[in-house]
Structure 1
Amino acid sequence: MFTAKDVKELREKTGCGMMDCKKALTESDGDMEKAMELLREKGLAAATKKAGRIAAEGIVSSYTSDDASVGAIIEVNSETDFVGKNADFKAFVGALAKIVADSNPADLEALNALKFDDTKTVEEELREKILTIGENMKIRRFARFEGNVVTYIHGEGRIGVMVKVEGDLTDDAKAAAKDAAMQIAAMNPLYLDKTTVPAEDLEKEKHIILAQMKEDPKNAGKPENILEKMLTGKVNKFYELNCLNQQEFVKDSNYKVEKYLAEKGIKLVDFVRFEKGEGLEKKEENFADEVASMMK
């Protein structure tokens, strides 16, 4: 039904104890998502989204045209973080971002087939980099926006954000859009706005909130109308934590993000956030064994 590896994975994602994770997996018949919900309902896992993902290496890079009318963001993975600091590797990933912006490939297969330069395709250049640098590499994902686009790279390629806005992209507006991108990098919102939260996600969240309220003995005997007000308050808090427009603006707590941008004459209509290696299993090796194998 489930394995010790599943228990370990659930523990890493929720921060809960091993026995609690095992019990949740038993109750959910091994369904990881349901087990996470059960732990949250019992107040054992408070996170609103998956956490503790194991990182892989590489970098996230971006490109924006001079007139900010098109932008692209891309993640390329490598085996070690040393490669992510390699100037040749950085230049390669940056060139890929420009190719995505210029050529608008439909998917990774289409990107690999595009010309990298006059003599090689992207796929051929990737193979050459693998041979030259000596590590396996993989183009993982990319995104492209047309319109008024601003990009932001944090931590030398650890996180990349691209935003699309409506309104004139004046110098002040561009600075505000970058501030929003930095907020996205730091706060990792799940949704753009409370109106964009899927009904299924909202119902799931309400179910979890109600279950937590019932678990709390302080709520015993409270009238239904009071519980409804509490539910509304907690849902609003969910919006404030997970919806970019409803989040408190980090640089000025007097503003919500949406209001801050509006005062700068722009409205954020879309965003994408890539964090290097999120959701990927990082290769784990015994250091002593690795050294021994190198000596052989």
Structure 2
Amino acid sequence: MQIKPAQVKELRDRTGAGMMDCKNALVETGGDIDAASDVLRKAGQAKADRKASRIAAEGQVLVASDRDSGRHVLLEVNSETDFVAKDENFREFTALVGQTVLEHVPGSVEELMELDAGGPTMGESRQALVTKVGENIIVRRFSVLASEDTVGFYVHLDRIGVLVELDGGSEELARDLAMHVAATSPRYVSVDDVPQDEIARETDILSAQAAQMAKSEQILEKIVSGRLRKHFDEITLTGQPFVKDTDTKVGQLLSRNGARVKRFLRFEVGEGIEKKQAGFGEEVAALL
């Protein structure tokens, strides 16, 4: 039977699939748009399944906030290439994920994928995007910070996102500290937050290093103490020099403003994901 362009357009608008895929699905189903939509969804699932094993280490970090409810979401969605991460369809999907998490506060990514996204579920929307852009797309992680205190955020080039919660202080200070955390990546707020086993391990290492010096026991203790203090200053937010004024430590800045950092969250695109390193020949072959 003859398939009209209007039918193809309607199916394409409904599914987001390519023109030829829509036409072929309509031919297969005798022009039945609902049945053709099911055919495309099944085909999309098959394509998504084939791409699921491919490494997705690029993508976007996003912050979504609702000041009225006091909820703030930090989110990472991954793609295989930076090219797709900049695609408008990918960015719209990421924004939709952020708003859905903000509104429904799911307990996990799996729960998120089952939520309604204005018609299809989030999982179905992800599957449709995979089919459309031709890459594996993963909602990797999200974290919800619900607070009645001061919260500031900063996103750097869509690749690093930070939320900082303050007791006291101002939104401007919270944002400056979020920018600082994005730049320096501290592991803890203060020394009080460092686990005891990590303190013990670092002390043992530094003591073993100092023991090789021909110094008195008293001097060695001072050396270990000084190195330990320097190490914890480097990995704790309050011990680091403030990026906007390196003569002032963050702890001093907080005291000056009558504020305390309750917690911070930091996501960086692809951190912890082992990327596949292709040789030059493989890259050329992939391009061809």
| Superposition TM-score, scaled by structure 1 size | 0.73
Task: Choose the corresponding residue for 1:182, options 174, 179, 200.
Answer: 179
Change (3 A) 1:275 1:293: closer
RMSD: 2.1
**In structure 2, distance between residues paired with 1:210 and 1:198:** 18
Q: Please name the residue that 2:154 is paired with.
A: 152
- 2:135 maps to 1:142: no
| Superposition TM-score, scaled by structure 2 size | 0.75
**In structure 2, distance between residues paired with 1:280 and 1:267:** 33
Consecutive unaligned residues in structure 2, runs of 5 or more: 1-54
Partner SS state of residue 245, structure 1: coil
From the CA coordinates, give the structure whose radius of gyration is larger: 2
Q: Please name the residue that 1:262 is paired with.
A: 255
**In structure 2, distance between residues paired with 1:288 and 1:164:** 48
**In structure 2, distance between residues paired with 1:123 and 1:55:** 17
| 8 Å contact kept, 2:242–2:248 | yes
Partner SS state of residue 242, structure 2: coil
Change (3 A) 1:87 1:206: same
Q: Please name the residue that 1:113 is paired with.
A: 114
| 8 Å contact kept, 1:70–1:149 | no
Alignment of 1:1-296 (within 5 A): 56-67=57-68, 69-117=70-118, 119-147=119-147, 148-154=150-156, 156-167=157-168, 173-215=170-212, 219-220=213-214, 222-289=215-282, 291-292=284-285
Q: Please name the residue that 1:4 is paired with.
A: none
Q: In the alignment, residue 143 of structure 2 is paired with which amino acid?
A: A
Q: In the alignment, residue 249 of structure 2 is paired with which amino acid?
A: K
Deviation at 1:254, TM superposition (A): 3.2
Deviation at 1:226, TM superposition (A): 1.1
- Structure 1 segments, 4+ long, off by >6 Å, are none
Consecutive unaligned residues in structure 1, runs of 5 or more: 1-53
Name the % identity: 38
Partner SS state of residue 152, structure 2: strand
| 8 Å contact kept, 2:211–2:220 | no
| 8 Å contact kept, 2:65–2:71 | yes
Cα displacement string for residues 186-213 of structure 1 (whole angstroms, at most 9, x for unaligned residues):
1111111100100001111111112222
| 8 Å contact kept, 1:76–1:138 | yes
Change (3 A) 1:139 1:152: same
Q: Between Structure 1 and Structure 2, how many residues are aligned?
A: 232
Q: In the alignment, residue 121 of structure 1 is paired with which amino acid?
A: T
**In structure 2, distance between residues paired with 1:59 and 1:248:** 28
| 8 Å contact kept, 1:71–1:150 | no
**In structure 1, distance between residues paired with 2:91 and 2:104:** 20
Cα displacement string for residues 207-259 of structure 1 (whole angstroms, at most 9, x for unaligned residues):
111222234xxx21x11111111111111101210000111111112322122
Partner SS state of residue 244, structure 1: coil
